[in-house]
Structure 1
């Protein structure tokens, strides 16, 4: 992570002290997004031995897997915050950070459920997600900053990028202490779409997940 920050700050002519926290926080949040999208899509298939033999709450199965990934993310973020304190100075801590983390966690849980349910029915879903995430990393403002690209590119790769909003609801409060209105609106829209997908997949596939995961 440090090597990448040195490389891109030099390539883009950026101040390392300002760029490193931006990149590091974005990268840490991206890792939990990537893990949730890739590994999260295999929960029901991976847990088939358990869910097929005993009656279990499928939401609880998702929560167990989700909590393990969440714990790793929280530890990584805490270590990063401490490291940044000594490298670049203290970060901001406001109620908006807690709100941003809550929004992120809710979206990750809903996404883990509906992608896992779809993957139990369509086994190519994890591979499709993996390929999409490889491309999405470079199209999401993690190693680059939105204000340094053309307006049309910013609209396409930032305005309609759900990963950007999930990263920014955590990154902005830590860097500036507040969340911009457009980011808050975008995160709300992503949450709404995620909720609609969650409800739709629940209604269509929930009762068949045990049989589809076989």
Structure 2
């Protein structure tokens, strides 16, 4: 283990010379919850190193290493893009980039949700032997998923190079904006979009992790339900299909997409990468869910932070 990470471990251990006693009543405060988040950020060298080691360990002794992440994503997006473009009668030049970018963003969301339910259970050894803030394990997970996302962006740049002239075709449910080829300044909006997505990934993993550690039936339920969410989210189909089947006005079918929060999370990253302008209501909904989600997660962190080490 390199010296910077070792120093973090020594520092964390030195501040906890004795095993944590059963949580006292005054430990259930928001001050303690925010302190946990603050200390976890101060240990960013620790979770940053561990997250990178997770990827290296997964592809240890592999010839091409983490490139398998990119290959797996590329082949899946290509296969489903070709299949569903034929089923829906869509142009492959516009539909394949749509599916590819959707899969890349979905992969990040899926990782935060699925692995978030096991984030504390799978780190039982570290939690019991390394008295660090529990949020460290959540940040490690989100950092690892961010590295996966960056690897998968290689597929996006390949698609961008091939289909650049056809990007910008709108897949909107309401008024279609003016079509222009390629991507422009709007691609920069993908940066704050992904940052907001990562911030949401933290509270999702934190909340699901705490609840799942206490109630072990939650992870299999979430893993099963997330498959249904995938098919209900415009990933291998676009929201414009709802207009076609409703005669142009969308009707009640619009609710299939609009009431699905994952759709809005997808759009704030996918739309800029495809050369689309993100409708303001996507930002508003994601912003509102960020506030509500973090409020609930902080309540869970305040009430049960000290119990996690006993539940695992």
Aligned partner (choices 114, 127, 145) of residue 238 of structure 2: 145
Per the alignment, residue 103 of structure 1 pairs with 196
CA distance in structure 1 between the aligned counterparts of 2:131 and 2:82, rounded to whole angstroms: 52
**Which consecutive unaligned segments of at least 5 residues does structure 1 have?**
none
CA distance in structure 1 between the aligned counterparts of 2:110 and 2:100, rounded to whole angstroms: 15
**RMSD (Å) for aligned C-alpha atoms:** 1.5
Which runs of structure 2 are paired with 1:1-214 in the superposition (5 Å)? 1-77=77-153, 79-89=154-164, 91-92=183-184, 94-149=187-242, 150-155=250-255, 157-213=256-312
> Which one has a bigger Cα radius of gyration?
2
CA distance in structure 2 between the aligned counterparts of 1:177 and 1:143, rounded to whole angstroms: 18
**SS in structure 2 at match of 1:178:** coil
Structure 1 segments, 4+ long, off by >6 Å, are none
CA distance in structure 1 between the aligned counterparts of 2:95 and 2:188, rounded to whole angstroms: 24
Q: 1:176 Cα deviation (Å)? A: 2.4
TM-score w.r.t. the length of structure 1 is: 0.93
| Conserved? CA contact 2:112–2:141, under 8 Å | no
How many residue pairs match? The answer is 211
**Which consecutive unaligned segments of at least 5 residues does structure 2 have?**
1-76, 165-181, 243-249
CA distance 1:105–1:26, change in 2 (3 Å):
same
